[in-house]
Structure 1
Amino acid sequence: MAKYLLASASGASFLCLINGLLPIQALANVVPTEQKLLLNAPQKSAIVNNKIPNQLNKFNQVTLPKTAETGLIVANDSPAASPTIQDKQESQDSSHPQGLQTSDNNDSPQVTSVSQFSDVQPTDWAFQALQSLVERYGCIAGYPNSTYRGNRAMTRYEFAAGLNACLERVNELIATATSDLVKKEDLATLQKLQEDFAAELATLRGRVDALEARTAELEANQFSTTTKLNGEVIIAGIGATGGAPNQGDPNIILVNRVRLNLTTSFTGKDLLITGLQAYNFLGGVDGSGSLQRGLGLASDLLTASSARTSFEPLFPGLDVKTLSDQAANSVQLYKLLYVFPVADKLTLFAGTAAEATDAFPAITPFYGEGQESISRFAGLNPVARVSGGTSGTGLASAAGFIFNISPQLDLRALYGSVNANIPQEAGEIVPGVSNTPLGAGVFGGSSVVSAQLTFKPTSSIDVGLNYAHSYHEINILGTGLIRDDIGALAGVPLGTPVSLNSVGGTVTWRFSPKVALSGYGAAMFVDDSSDAVNASTTFTSWMVGLHFNDLFKSGNNAGLLFGQPLFRSDAGGTAQLAPDGVNRATPYHLEAYYRLKLTDNISITPGAFVLFNPEGDSRNETTTVGVLRTTFTF
């Protein structure tokens, strides 16, 4: 039981108590008040993708796990599929609840003089009583901000808690041979008060005993004292029609993705995120068995396509680092990241399985692989996805920082290396392409330097500005958003290394409590990085949409959006605007979905998106992809 919270040595002091002058701290975590149950929460510090003060909103959205999902640490109304740094930051925005610190808290030094209370003056009518309690008995500890708040009302239970603390303090003084400090009249007053409040004191002690028993039981049966487990299970039916000419419609498929996230804190301020996943999407090197291949809209290698759903990985059924196959529903480590603060406004993170979205908040409300938009196009600005930034498999080893410049402004940046664990490149399988196509080593293979500046000019507007510089050992974008992701420089061999400079911006305006307007724009400038060719290409993309909260029923969300997937707007040198045989046309994407929240842990999302001029080719038929997604969170 917390001590030195409140004790009195005179009838005047107890009169102050009765009139609500003395705030009670003893057993604040178990004493109910008229407003709420006071909880003595552990001291928290900011680390978040989110999302460390004011940060962890994002490690996919770590975003802790948002769980996280530590970001490195942006947030949903259900447990995150992947914890992010941002998730951790949001959870740490709240420190101690409104209530006094107990003097047992190491972070709150014992008050030794009444002058330490900024709101207590010598002219106050109870100043002498307070002075006696503080300086004679040393049993008053005020609020963390050095205030006393003597006019605060209290309940009889709070009074009983203070009286109980006073009795213990007096007993301690007697036991330590300092009984001369306790006057006879004070003991008489204590005895009478103890008799008057006998029932409350008995109730209080009974509650303490019951709480201690329950706490012991929880500690004996908890999963871990340092680690929390959460997870997400997605089961979805997907059907599609349209696609390439003379191509039959693929069958309706049933797919799943399961994620288990372990979030561990060793100091209360840091966060270790470990994520395991399994899925049954098919693909492999040639994309066989994928829905996109069935539509005829996938790249010749892998499954890059505009017909991708939000919850499938970038390279399904394949370890792209070594081009080795992975069986359906095999368990993978898709997240391993450590987040830790080094200063009040600076947080660092590093890991061997990470994504850009682990650190960068998702500005758009359409992001949420298991809860919001059903397409890969809608959830994030393409600049965040470049170079495998959202592979869904923790493709890169990464390290970076989160700098909270102010509550309205923060800067985040990272360096990621895809094949950091491979010492040497393997032999070539086709000219210029090795069996480790993304290179080898921390600084010798494909890599990305990415940054995001996030600011909130008003409480209803969020803005994110992105920049990424990438280098790839082969001719790709690494977003998985369109078929031309593979062979980014059209007419240039796949084995040509390329460098990319990508810029983008995302804005969300909540013009009413339940409706938000959101959109993004992006441009990617691709140049060859070899002496063999001289080629360059520019890709552009944009999206705008409306997001609805609590539509028709509390907890149900919906989205309606329209935009242009990545499309070549310019080409120079030996690069072409489109591959041979393509009838170039601007592609468009139209999407609608509605999420029904059945319980706090179960939701169903029916939705569909329509592709006009899919993959920028007017020969392709208008394509419709329908999804019925069920999400379980725990």
Structure 2
Amino acid sequence: MTRYLLASCGGAGLLYLLLGLLPVQALTKSEVLDSKLVEKSSEKLVIAKKENRHEIITNNGGVLPHKLKNQPVIGNNKQDSSVLSQKQENRNIELNSAPNSSLQIYPTSANSSQISNKIAQVTSVSQLSDVQPTDWAFQALQSLVERYGCIAGYPNSTYRGNRPMTRYEFAAGLNACLDRVSEIIATATTNLVTKEDLGTLQRLQEEFAAELAALRGRVDTLEAHTAELEANQFSTTTKLNGEVIVAAIGATGGSPGTDDPNIILTNRVRLNLNTSFTGKDLLITGLQSYNFLGGLDGRGSLQESLGLASPLLSASSARTSFEPQFPGIDVKTLSDVGANDVELYKLLYIFPVADKLTLFAGTAAEVSDAFPAITPFYGEGQESISRFGNLNPVVRVSGGTSGSGLASAVGFIFNISNQLDLRALYGSVNANIPQNAPDILPGVSGTPLGSGFFGGSSVIATQLTFRPTSSIDIGLNYANSYHEINILGTGLTSSDIGALAGVSLGTPVKLNSFGGTVTWRFSPKIALSGYGAAIFVDDSARDVDASSTFTSWMVGLHFNDLFHQGNNAGILFGQPLYRTSADGDAELASTGVDRATPYHLEAYYRLKVSDNISITPGAFVLFNPEGDSRNDTTTVGVLRTTFTF
């Protein structure tokens, strides 16, 4: 009878006891349901499903390096310019890095041994701390350990016998025990194996023959795929992604006496090399080219043809979301940039230094790289088609979203809690230039933005991001800027150049900018979003006393999965940047301007053709463009096609 009981324990008891044998260990404290990894505890793993792929991430930011993860991924699930944003729910650092702002890196990670616990062979059941003599299966486990030596435990000396396992796991464990029994028989050094044991094992082997064959086939397939990937991989540390935008743009209206411009066909191409040296850091190297024209005097730009651009650098409210702020020119040195010339637009390194603190630094960066976009309209290649609709103007101050990596910057991200984080940076435009060039205009040198890392034009910007509920996001912005010339540096209005109207261009200015953005997702597929901004401009010269105030606001509705899954739409209305007051030597408007409050109305619909291709038709209408009632109501239509890879 005793022999029969031992045989039963050694055979049927395998069904409950072989989890520790598995050569491919199940993920701790999680289970597989409908092909998804579902979290059972906040200690280790969560699953994020993005479109048609899964991402497995740890709560402290770790990433499982396997094929399900299409990493790296940097921000807000938009395919456009770079944003380093924080997902508070899982505390993952996300970089919305152009060209593919679903680029994300998770720099604070546990290593793979923390995620998938390796098994360790035990020689006595007493080595398993969670197995007690009173457990109902204690004798069966003791028999398998001491008679056959084919039971393994976890590195922390636990067996975890109560967790469920799949038939594949059982088949793998059974196979390990069969190999051990075969070894014992082959060596013929013991008579511990009985006929009853062999009979039971034979029946189990026959019953699970199909599962064993399937498991072997899966392992062979995985090994073949792994070998192929290793042979053809670009780099063990670097991932390549890209975005290509091709768009047709047409416009009508503009200033009196101008003809409607021809429809133009434009492109912007971006490639990102995303490198991680430790699995926790990220180095972004971005290249881009575009065929927008403009140069120093704006010649050849759509805005110049409409008569709605500033006399220098083509700043205008008629600008689309995906064109650079200074097309056709390197604003640092006023040198020309040819159509489709390749330039370095991003060089930024992000690295964690503590559980809640991450630092970043780079010589080609933008304010928007550090601050999460609160509004769902952000996405140069996927969402709003206008520069006005994408971001709060305070983020754009001082070239903060130039599209060409204008500044050298250093900063930090401090995760105060899951609902609150604080980010700040210092940026200097001409950090690589040691001396100012000679003047080309009175008070304006050939390096109009100054020189040196702590000299010339600079900005200190900060954002406090608050998520009081899962459906509400709030961002509060402040920026303190100094410019060696009289500009705002937003590219949003022709008044951007000559911010203090009636004061010479060579007058240095100080800017204090305040803004707030709110998004309320009042249903799963509809969000209400808006922003407000105020920019206070003061002279920074001894012989001038002048100040002005600019304001702007926007409100809109954003729709997810409209008419079809993956198709997004937006409709928004607001006031572009407008000079609302002027004191001292400053004027409210340039001579001849008939002041009137400008308004912006926009609608677009993004059609998702595939996971990698989208088409966005849209249009925006400008009422009283550039704050001048003499200008005709202007309509700009866009048909944008975006390819991502």
TM-score range, shorter chain: 0.7 to 0.9
Q: TM-score, normalised by structure 2?
A: 0.84
More deviation, 500-509/220-229: 220-229
2:164 paired residue number: 152
Question: Which shifted more, 378-387 or 218-227?
Answer: 218-227
Q: Which residues in structure 2 correspond to 1:45-194 (within 5 Å)?
A: 46=61, 61=75, 71=84, 81-83=98-100, 87-89=103-105, 101-103=117-119, 113-115=127-129, 117=130, 123-127=134-138, 129=140, 139-141=151-153, 148=160, 150-155=162-167, 157-166=168-177, 183-184=192-193, 188=198, 192=202, 193-194=204-205
User: Could you tell me whether the CA contact under 8 Å between 1:64 and 1:71 is conserved in 2?
Assistant: no
Q: What is the CA–CA distance in structure 1 between the aligned matches of 2:163 and 2:230, rounded to whole Å?
A: 38
How far is the alpha carbon of 1:465 from its aligned partner? 0.9
Q: Give the deviation of 1:552 after TM superposition.
A: 1.3
Correspondence list, 1:118-517, <5 A: 123-127=134-138, 129=140, 139-141=151-153, 148=160, 150-155=162-167, 157-166=168-177, 183-184=192-193, 188=198, 192=202, 193-194=204-205, 197-517=208-528
Residue 558 of structure 1: how far off its partner (Å):
0.8
Matched letter for residue 12 of structure 1? C
Of the structure 1 ranges 123-132 and 366-375, higher mean CA displacement relative to structure 2 is found in 123-132
Identity rate of aligned residues, in percent? 68
What is the CA–CA distance in structure 2 between the aligned matches of 1:135 and 1:469, rounded to whole Å? Answer: 72
Deviation at 1:97, TM superposition (A): 13
Where 2:84 maps in the other structure, the secondary structure is coil
Structure whose residues are more often strand by fraction: 2
Distance (whole Å) between structure 1 residues aligned to residue 392 and residue 292 of structure 2: 24
d(CA) in 2 for partners of 1:329, 1:152: 58
Map 1:613-624; keep pairs closer than 5 Å.
613-624=624-635
Please give the per-residue CA displacement for 1:333-382, whole angstroms capped at 9, x wherever unaligned: 11111111112221111111111111111110101111111000000011
Displacement after TM superposition at 1:584 (Å):
1.3
Does structure 1 residue 18 correspond to structure 2 residue 15? yes
Q: Confirm whether residue 35 of structure 1 aligns to residue 49 of structure 2.
A: no
Deviation at 1:388, TM superposition (A): 0.7
| Closer, same or farther: CA 399–165 of 1 in aligned 2, 3 Å | farther
Decide which of 606, 619, 629 is 1:608's aligned counterpart.
619
SS of 1:554's partner is coil
CA contact (8 A) 2:332 2:447 kept: yes
1:320 deviates by 0.3
Q: State the Cα distance separating 1:35 from its structure 2 match.
A: 3.3
- The more displaced of 378-387 and 13-22 is 13-22
Cα distance between partner residues in 2 of 1:377 and 1:147: 59
66 and 562 in structure 1: CA distance in 2 versus 1, 3 angstrom threshold: closer
CA contact (8 A) 2:81 2:380 kept: no
Normalised TM-score (structure 1)? 0.85
- Aligned residue pair count: 600
User: C-alpha deviations, 1:280-316, integer Å up to 9, x for none?
Assistant: 0000000000010011110011110000000000000
Counterparts of 1:145 and 1:272, CA distance in 2: 39
Deviates more, 1:504-513 or 1:130-139: 130-139
Assess if the C-alpha contact under 8 Å between 1:167 and 1:190 holds in 2. Answer: no
Contact 1:492–1:575 under 8 Å retained in 2: yes
Give me the whole-angstrom Cα distance separating, in 2, the residues matched to 1:217 and 1:57: 20
**3-state SS of 2:591 partner:** coil
CA 1:20/1:342 → structure 2, altered by over 3 Å: closer, same or farther?
Answer: same
In structure 1, what is the Cα distance between the partners aligned to 2:133 and 2:378?
57
Distance in 2, Cα, partners of 1:391 & 1:458:
32
Are the equivalent residues in 2 in contact too, given 1:45–1:268 (CA < 8 A)?
A: no
Structure 1 pair 491/93, CA: closer, same or farther in 2 (3 Å)?
Answer: farther
Whether the 8 Å contact between 2:83 and 2:373 is mirrored in structure 1 is no
Asked if 1:523 is matched to 2:534, the reply is: yes
Deviation at 1:42, TM superposition (A): 9.1
Deviation at 1:204, TM superposition (A): 2.7
Task: Write the deviation string for residues 387-426 of structure 1: whole angstroms up to 9, x where unpaired.
Answer: 1111001111111111122222111111111111111111
Amino acid at match of 2:588: L
Worse-superposed segment, 583-592 or 571-580:
571-580
Q: Structure 1 residue 128: deviation in Å?
A: 5.3
**Distance in 2 separating the partners of 1:381 and 1:501:** 14
Deviation (angstroms), 1:201? 3.3
Alignment check: 8 A CA contact 1:446 1:473 kept: yes
Deviations 1:23-60 (A, max 9, x none): 77432589x97732879979896399xxxxxxx9995x
Answer whether contact 1:70 1:87 (CA < 8 A) is retained.
Answer: no
Deviation at 1:260, TM superposition (A): 1.1
Query: In 2, distance between residues paired with 1:518 and 1:421?
Result: 39
Q: Distance in 2 between matches of 1:172 and 1:287?
A: 82
CA distance in 2 between counterparts of 1:139 and 1:64 reads 45
Amino acid at match of 1:613: N
Structure 1's 214 and 169: CA in aligned 2 closer, same or farther, altered over 3 A?
A: same
- Alpha-carbon deviation of 1:576? 1.3
Matched residue, 1:553:
564
Shift of 1:452: 1.1
Distance, in Å, in 1 between the alignment partners of 2:62 and 2:173 is 36
Letter in 2 for 1:71: L
Provide Cα deviations, 1:105-164, integer angstroms capped at 9, x if missing partner: xxxxxx99433x5xx666542345557778995954459997836141421x21111123
Retained in 2: the 8 A contact 1:371–1:631?
Answer: yes
Residues 242 and 342 (structure 1 numbering): CA distance in 2 closer, same or farther, change over 3 Å?
Answer: same
Cα distance in 2 between the residues matched to 1:147 and 1:482: 67
Kindly indicate whether residue 614 of structure 2 is the aligned counterpart of residue 598 of structure 1.
Answer: no
What are structure 1's unaligned runs of at least 5 residues?
A: 1-8, 49-55, 105-110
Structure 2, gaps ≥5 residues long: 1-5, 38-53, 64-70
| 2:553–2:576 CA contact under 8 A, matched in 1 | yes
Q: What is the distance in 2 between the residues matched to 1:40 and 1:239?
A: 40
- Following the alignment from structure 1 to structure 2, what is the Cα–Cα distance between the partners of residues 217 and 279? 35
Distance in 2 between residues matched to 1:58 and 1:221, nearest whole Å: 21
C-alpha spacing 1:14/1:504, structure 2 compared with 1 (3 Å): farther
Kept in 2: contact 1:21–1:151 (CA 8 A): no
Paired letter, 1:507: V
1:230-257 CA distance string (max 9 Å, x none): 1111111111111111222111111111
Q: Distance in 1 between matches of 2:17 and 2:373?
A: 47
Give 3-state SS (helix, strand or coil) of 2:104's partner: helix
| Aligned residues: CA RMSD | 3.8
Q: Distance in 2 between matches of 1:324 and 1:93?
A: 44
Q: Is the 8 A contact 1:80 1:232 kept in 2?
A: no
Q: Specify the code of the residue in structure 2 equivalent to 1:543.
A: M
Mean CA deviation greater in 234-243 or 162-171:
162-171
- Aligned counterparts of 1:602 and 1:92: Cα–Cα separation in 2: 32
Q: In 2, are the aligned partners of 1:65 and 1:263 still within 8 Å (CA)?
A: no
User: What are the superposed Cα offsets for residues 530-564 of structure 1, whole Å, 9 maximum, x if unpaired?
Assistant: 21211111111100000111111111111110000
Q: 1:414 to 1:264 in 2, by over 3 A?
A: same
